[in-house]
Structure 1
């Protein structure tokens, strides 16, 4: 069992060891690491420190961010538009914001306030340690920028990422599976239907707890799909804070208003992510739009257990609205988030005591 005491014990061991290592020593260890992932937010490897597995994320950091006036700044240095806050292909606002989010969430864990975040053991800036930002989904930088309506500030951000050779290394707590993988494993291998139902109830309760805590602390993840959340038999752990926002960041008035307007965003995105995680387990990952559409129209070819369908059906209206929002904002970046409508839908949902695990 990964109790908090065991997690903090590992934090002490790994953090102390890393603090005594030079950049050269770290580079040597990293060169032997197992590559885990390459994406728009950076690359990652797995290493061992004192026989403890550590997940290392390389987050690219630009020359602009490294200038003395911007060093450690959580301001919107590139003056990026608010539509870039959504997880629809954004490369993030800055390495400093991601780092600050990890520092805050780690402190919440080790102080006992909330266990539902991956602990960061240490961080380090390493020069000559990064390749260009991965925009392969769009085939080219030009197509990527066209997708973002050729916004000049986004263009500056991407060019800065592509020209840098420095990165911030985040040394993070390692979990073998993300929630997407873990949920699929539970639903596929459960001995009884009751096991699957109990896990989904537990998942609802865990999300209810962490989202309430985040709301109380005005902290938004903004990209909490199930690949960005880690999981084990005990709980869930949010990570990947490339788009995170906090009231404690150096925010403009526009950003302050955005944080208030998006206060239910993470909760509503959970609904569509839950449906995605469950339905793709049963129906396969291909043709997601059709799978969701068929489910919402009660035309799905798969037969879901009644209790699982009951859990999904409660989330279906919100999931449908969020899915529509994602499709619309990908076509038109000025599409507003329907905050008030989502608030009304959540109030209806919560009247049914959705987070009751019994």
Structure 2
């Protein structure tokens, strides 16, 4: 198999680097300054074992590859808000021997949230969900860092919407050889909904700084409580915190390179790079959507989604809002919700 990593940022770059390190054929897809840096100097992957530079093929779009190969695996690691554009670009590409990527090739969705698989299934026949637990950072062009040890991360994989097959098992085996735990599960979306609940903290972390302190943690717990209520109303099962913890066990530890605390997560990194977009619509916004569909109020997640989007749109600095200010915005959203309920 050849792995085409569409989105060679924190997750894609780490997975691509680890696969290349274990001898697999890898092509990276990147944009802008990151593309230029990788093309000129290779992809630097820093782990607890040290730093390696991988001189890998890197492209900006599929036309640079020509026909795709019948043994290609498309590993989609762009943020969910960028999924549709990426899939439209890749889905119609011809595959050697006839047919298109959307008709023939396996596509692995390695994003937070639960929407990318639905977006993909409109365009691709063979879609695989992947629940990503991989503490990695990408804030500098040409470089990614991952501090998990002795395994770099855990990537549950399965067919979407459910089931397993030989392709999932083959991908899992390649990842396991590359210091990435990759359990094959028939209920991958159950794992992704569990991760969605955890990712409701991303907006808090992105706008106020690394998630810590009693007030910030309590705010996340309120957002999660809304999420759990919404999933219960929708009849959606999600893996619980204890089951996730037991799955990882002591097989993945966070080992910082210089004694520092872990940096911010994916939403914080988006703000730090000034991308102008953030994934909040598909995290807190997913809970808001389900809440509206099933009659469950979600004022905390509504407020977090709105604030995170404003930060991204205005390119405000990550972590620049005091927790007290964010709590005040959430309180106003709750008051508005209460007024609307009294009127109705």
The two structures have a TM-score, normalised by structure 2, of 0.30
TM-score after normalising by structure 1: 0.29
